[in-house]
Structure 1
């Protein structure tokens, strides 16, 4: 469990800029303690606890990159086709028992070790065989073509995967190619998550005429799962100050992060903010961001707390900019900037200076072939359909006050945000 001092986030301003919030989280939150040796086949999505150093080069021997014919570079045809006797063949996985003598070629297959003396391979598609069984090689090929030298990909002793990296399928493949069967990873971050409010009920429960089914908790659990967290679903907490404080304190004692949705605004029934203050320290609770201004960050018994807004779009956006950086820091992963793609705006928009706004957009190909960002036709932080029917967010920074049709804007695909 992360242990933080109650003042480690100290911030004096009433409305925290987005970049300041993300930098603060990255700087003040450190990786939780605890690692485990994990089978390589289970390592996708886990965070490396140690550098992986290559115990051998890749490839470990010089081999042919294609099916074809190997020969000495000094014998390459120049100006005209040339016939070569075929001295033998070498299959992948077999030893190269035949050598390429001057004026001879050796039949080789993809991955086969290069015959002694040979340093160039002609692709079988580019050659012909004559009636005497000789191979006819064309001129123009460069010496060394179609050969994979030893260590071309990775050299022995090279750091190939650094500690803090979240493993991907291609990373798993590289570790396997080096002969590894298990790796040391950080333990999963334990996150307690619950929704708040008398106005919501769990899907499948009896819904009153003025109640809504809880959607935020399921969205947040899904986002946490994609970040490799160990998740404790604490359900829905009603609007009661005493029980809210008690649950927060209990959850903080056994988890690395406490994440809530709703109850952090200024309404009479918004008790989460006050509950955090009663059992810990509230660091900030407003950000210069739209949607999602009422977002809280605090410390309860040394454990970080993040309280997201109740509106689903605001909850999604602030998860990306507060919860995600906190989780990356706690898991020992370096800060990650979402992929920003410049696109042409197919809309006009006006905003206030001093806050960052995120506009939901879909992508389309215009008549001239350019990709355009099309704004979702309706506003509102409560519209789940606006997240479902769009491809990502256009980020409008604090200094921006307007967007004109045809202007270049910054697009963040959803795939890069979680």
Structure 2
């Protein structure tokens, strides 16, 4: 019997399905100026009110010509100029060309643009040295990028640095977005100290809050740091009450194991309900999910790597759905050949930290070394997860494994 068969130990795929089936996106919308909308999720489709470009324009610096008048060997006098923002407005005389610059409006009647490198200016006019000029050569037509009425960005898109200038090209200065989910988080444990405080015997610095905060903000949510809460049932319950009044999701690190001072489970059962507790995942088995009266609950393990990985692998998709980010997808699995062994026992899906490279067109991966759930340097060194299947055992060098490259939230 594998350990995944033990009562209460759920496969990670089942856990994700359970979580996502229960959560619905936030409904509150905001009207934001475009420069302030980065990282927010669109509440509605953005349809283009204009054609982009709004007029046919030149893709190159050169000369506007009419093909019927283009006779190689005979120079064409320059009739005028068309620059960006200053189009040619005069009468285009027969048997002549117009000097045109990149982005400038194409004069009426123009069939093609000949680039300046294929032209020679003489006293008699411009002599063109190119053959086989094609109709509409070097001309960007009206609506070449986006046509009026097209959906430029779909509802559920989280606005990136690439999207903001694209929306600006449409002349749209205000967008309707969903408010960012609010996530309150805190660490539990008498052994924890905040940065800047002196350590006493048996104490360590709390690193989990800093990792969780960074991930929450990278996920596009509002982070509310409630600090370190000691192992006191009364103080923990009061903090849960405060947290669930402030946020859509409450995240804790620590206090979800089976120790004598782990009170989180009792408090959650008293205040709300537990969806599940303990997963067939390594590291991170004591991950918990449940419901408080006014917020969802995710309990991360106390070990730093366990907390970080479960926040990335389990909380991230939950928050993406809560945010209405319908375009979010997990990173795909990529086959890679191992260059070092990976220790593993069957029973849990294992997220080991690895360093991948591409050699001769093939992904290869090696371990970052110490895979302990308390050794965070292996996480800092990694650029991918080596995801070893639940029932797989030890992996030797030369075997093929599946890796997941880190997404943008890790950088």
TM-score, normalised on structure 2?
A: 0.91
**1:241 aligns to what?**
233
- Structure 2 segments unaligned to the other structure (5+ residues): 1-5
Which shifted more, 19-28 or 259-268?
19-28
Displacement of 1:101? 5.9
Displacement of 1:82? 5.9
Report the secondary structure of 2:42's partner residue. Answer: coil
**1:359 aligns to what?**
352
- Aligned mates of 1:83, 1:67 — CA distance in 2: 18
Displacement of 1:267? 1.5
**2:66 aligns to what?**
72
Provide, for residues 109-130 of structure 1, a one-character-per-residue CA deviation record: whole Å limited to 9, x for no partner.
Answer: 0110101111321222233223
Which shifted more, 211-220 or 271-280?
271-280
Residue 296 of structure 2: which of 304, 309, 319 is its match?
Answer: 304
Displacement of 1:370? 4.7
Does residue 338 in structure 1 map to residue 331 in structure 2?
yes
Provide, for residues 217-259 of structure 1, a one-character-per-residue CA deviation record: whole Å limited to 9, x for no partner.
Answer: 0111111111222222110111122322232133112311101
Displacement of 1:196? 0.5
**2:340 aligns to what?**
347
**2:3 aligns to what?**
none
Displacement of 1:277? 1.2
Residue 374 of structure 2: which of 382, 385, 388 is its match?
Answer: 382
Does residue 253 in structure 1 map to residue 245 in structure 2?
yes
**1:114 aligns to what?**
106
Residue 314 of structure 2: which of 322, 332, 335 is its match?
Answer: 322
**2:81 aligns to what?**
89
- Aligned mates of 2:7, 2:58 — CA distance in 1: 63
**1:8 aligns to what?**
none
1:162-311 matches, within 5 Å, as 162-311=154-303
Does residue 48 in structure 1 map to residue 42 in structure 2?
yes
Does residue 17 in structure 1 map to residue 37 in structure 2?
no
Q: 1:228 to 1:402 in 2, by over 3 A?
A: same
**Pairs aligned (count):** 404
1:106-145 matches, within 5 Å, as 106-145=98-137
Displacement of 1:31? 1.4
- Aligned mates of 2:14, 2:291 — CA distance in 1: 18
Q: 1:323 to 1:137 in 2, by over 3 A?
A: same
- Aligned mates of 2:222, 2:13 — CA distance in 1: 27
CA contact (8 A) 1:99 1:116 kept: no
Report the secondary structure of 1:169's partner residue. Answer: coil
Q: 1:272 to 1:75 in 2, by over 3 A?
A: farther
Report the secondary structure of 1:134's partner residue. Answer: strand
CA contact (8 A) 2:183 2:224 kept: yes
Does residue 39 in structure 1 map to residue 33 in structure 2?
yes
Q: 1:373 to 1:140 in 2, by over 3 A?
A: farther
- Aligned mates of 1:352, 1:299 — CA distance in 2: 33
Which shifted more, 108-117 or 245-254?
245-254
CA contact (8 A) 1:25 1:329 kept: no
- Aligned mates of 1:417, 1:21 — CA distance in 2: 21
**1:411 aligns to what?**
403
**1:61 aligns to what?**
55
CA contact (8 A) 1:70 1:100 kept: no
Displacement of 1:294? 0.8
Q: 1:81 to 1:157 in 2, by over 3 A?
A: same
- Aligned mates of 1:316, 1:147 — CA distance in 2: 52
- Aligned mates of 1:329, 1:82 — CA distance in 2: 66
Which shifted more, 244-253 or 308-317?
244-253
CA contact (8 A) 1:73 1:144 kept: no
- Aligned mates of 1:380, 1:330 — CA distance in 2: 32
CA contact (8 A) 1:362 1:392 kept: yes
Report the secondary structure of 2:55's partner residue. Answer: coil
Displacement of 1:390? 1.7
| Alignment root-mean-square deviation, CA | 2.3
Q: 1:218 to 1:100 in 2, by over 3 A?
A: same
Displacement of 1:87? 2.3
- Aligned mates of 2:141, 2:339 — CA distance in 1: 50
Q: 1:260 to 1:151 in 2, by over 3 A?
A: same
- Structure 1 segments unaligned to the other structure (5+ residues): 1-11
